[in-house]
Amino acid sequence: MLMLLRKMVEIYFSDIENVNRYTYKELKIATEGFSPANKIGEGGFGSVYKGKLRNDTLAAIKVLSAESRQGVKEFLTEIKVISSIEHENLVKLYGCCVEGNHRILVYEYHENNSLAQTLLGGGHSSIQFSWDVRRNICIGVARGLAFLHDVVQPHIIHRDIKASNILLDKSLQPKISDFGLAKLIAANLTHISTLVAGTAGYLAPEYAIRSQVTRKSDVYSFGVLLLEIVSGKCNTNRRLPVGERYLLANAWDLYEKGETESLVDVFLDGEFDVEEAIRFCKIGLLCTQDSLQLRPSMSEVLDMLIGETDVNEEKMAKPGLVFEIIEAKERRKQKGTAEVENASSSLVGSGRQDDSSLSGIADSFATMTFTSIYDRSN
């Protein structure tokens, strides 16, 4: 069995070009024995360490935990996928280590950390997120995603677009990381169903409820991220009163009242291009509409962001809000009642959801990893 596995790994590796292989020993040296001092993060799949490679290059070394769902096949698939694509807004994979039980990915290191720890990190970062910087980040992320969706063949759905997966390099260029959930899907398939493994606040309703993954579920997540970048607020802040907890619901309320401008981060102190900021908010709302068909593609989003095309808000519908289901589920847990069904029926546009899809909610949520429902302290 072990021999067979080794053989499989060798066959797979012989098929993968341009990927360095590292030994466990050299990665141990690079991270000073995986010392806690060099640990820079902890994700759903394991720990991330900063390390210095043999050629003095800094790297982010992601050690997949034993509990990680990624087996050899998924691990090697991830490597194959990442190594075959290169783009200025995607994190570069240097190589990997597959030795015994060790599964380690070695990425280019980006010193300015993620948006989750900087922009949304509660004031612990010294980075100045001016409007120009934010605009550049939004456009860069849209470029990276449009590339994955519309240029790479067959296209790639990221599935886990969120602030902790947007890293910043030394000149604050955004880099999309974590293709652990990405899967290549055949171009003729419109969607694939799978276990929901994204993060709650960024999840498109159809993804949360029916595990339905399409490029449009990435578009939804991008819309949430866009609103976070413009507002400087996390999509969920459980410290706030119920009515103010959810950024997306607030954004829609303000839009309806014609007060979209007040969504923009107060830290900008009024120093931003008002028209452009409002346009970005509207694009965020276009992306998060309940109906997949109404959401634009990432290439269309990019064109709207750079002002190449206008934002058509004529028929813009209310966003699909997942939090209502989450809260109802929490209440049900506490009270042992069957409120999920009630809350689900109040989901925006939920008239299209039948009982069979609703009955899957609890199961879908049981498989979700709620790893990044973070709060911003201010």
Ligand X SMILES: Nc1ncnc2c1ncn2[C@@H]1O[C@H](COP(=O)(O)OP(=O)(O)OP(=O)(O)O)[C@@H](O)[C@H]1O
| Binding residues for ligand X (CB under 6 A) | 40-41, 43-45, 48, 60, 62, 91, 107-110, 113-114, 116-117, 160, 164-165, 167, 177-178, 371
The residues pairing with 52 across neighbouring beta strands, listed in sequence order, are 58
Minimum distance between the CB of residue 213 and ligand X, rounded to whole angstroms? Answer: 16
Nearer to ligand X, 165 or 211 (CB): 165
Minimum distance between the CB of residue 308 and ligand X, rounded to whole angstroms? Answer: 31
Minimum distance between the CB of residue 49 and ligand X, rounded to whole angstroms? Answer: 9
Minimum distance between the CB of residue 170 and ligand X, rounded to whole angstroms? Answer: 11
Q: Which of 56, 132, 160, 265 is catalytic?
A: 160
Nearer to ligand X, 92 or 318 (CB): 92
Name, in order, each residue with C-beta under 8 angstroms of 345's C-beta and a sequence gap of 6 or more: none
Minimum distance between the CB of residue 158 and ligand X, rounded to whole angstroms? Answer: 10
d(CA 200, CA 322): 8
Minimum distance between the CB of residue 159 and ligand X, rounded to whole angstroms? Answer: 10
Nearer to ligand X, 69 or 318 (CB): 69
d(CA 85, CA 156): 10
Nearer to ligand X, 109 or 131 (CB): 109
Nearer to ligand X, 148 or 348 (CB): 148
216 is in an annotated binding site: no
63: amino acid identity, one letter? V
Helix/strand/coil (H, E, C) string of the chain?
CHHHHHHHHHHHHHCCCCCEECCHHHHHHHCCCCCHHHEEEEECCEEEEEEECCCCCEEEEEEECCCCCCCHHHHHHHHHHHHCCCCCCECCEEEEEEECCEEEEEEECCCCCECCCCCCCCCCCCCCCCHHHHHHHHHHHHHHHHHHHHHCCCCEECCCCCHHHEEECCCCCEEECCCCCCEECCCCCCCEECCCCCCHHHCCHHHHHHCEECHHHHHHHHHHHHHHHHHCCCCECCCCCHHHCEHHHHHHHHHHCCCHHHHCCHHHCCCCCHHHHHHHHHHHHHHCECCHHHCCCHHHHHHHHCCCCCCCCCCCCCECCCHHHHHHHHHHHHHCCCHHHHHHHCCCCHHHCCHHHHHCHHHHHHCCCCCCCCCCCC
Concerning whether 160 is annotated as a catalytic residue, the answer is yes
Nearer to ligand X, 154 or 370 (CB): 370
**Residues recognised as catalytic:** 160
Going by the annotation, the residues of the binding site are: 62
Binding-site annotation: residue ranges for ATP = 62
